[in-house]
Amino acid sequence: MRTLDVEIPSDIGQIERVVDLVQRECAEMAYAPRQVSLNVPVALSEAISNAILRGNGEDPEKQVRIRARVDASELVVEVEDEGEGFDLTECTSNDPTRPENLENEQGRGLFLMQRLMDRVERTRRPEGGGNIVRMTLRRAS
């Protein structure tokens, strides 16, 4: 089992570096190439981006913590912010693939997370004042 625990400031320029770290861990554990090159980076990029933009409102004083656990059966990655939170159900109630929504610039983030991961859950931080989005992907080889 491999683990990763990284804290970054609320800066969208940091996303790619963290995504790259998690991708490498999945590649090391021989996850399917498609999972390494598509599912993991896109879903994780969305989750971190949500945490920075929606959770922390890009407040430079607030941090985003990314914890990943990768083993031979699954990847579990948690993205934790310090914000007020957003409702997953509310965010996904508008199906971005409906013809009337196709030309919307926004509204695909959580949709992609849910399509590319096996499970996406949101909880509040036990100590309060933040959200944790936990995503699970079963390893395919």
Partner 1 sequence: MSFSIKKEGEVVVVDVEGQLIVGNRQELKQKVLDELEKGEKRFLIDFSQTGYIDSSGLGVLVSLSKKIREQGGELRLANLNDDLKTLFELTKLDTLFQIADTRERALSSF
Residues that bind partner 1 (CB under 8 A): 12-13, 15-16, 34, 37-38, 41-42, 45-46, 49, 53, 96-97, 102-109, 111-112, 115-116
Residue type, 116: L
Q: Which is nearer to partner 1, 13 or 60 (CB)?
A: 13
Q: Which is nearer to partner 1, 61 or 103 (CB)?
A: 103
SS3 28: helix
Q: Which is nearer to partner 1, 116 or 120 (CB)?
A: 116
* Rounded Cα–Cα distance for residues 45 and 123 (Å): 19
Min separation Cβ 3 and partner 1, Å? 23
Q: Which is nearer to partner 1, 49 or 63 (CB)?
A: 49
Q: Measured over all CA atoms, what is the biggest interatomic distance in the chain, rounded to whole angstroms? A: 44
Min separation Cβ 1 and partner 1, Å? 25
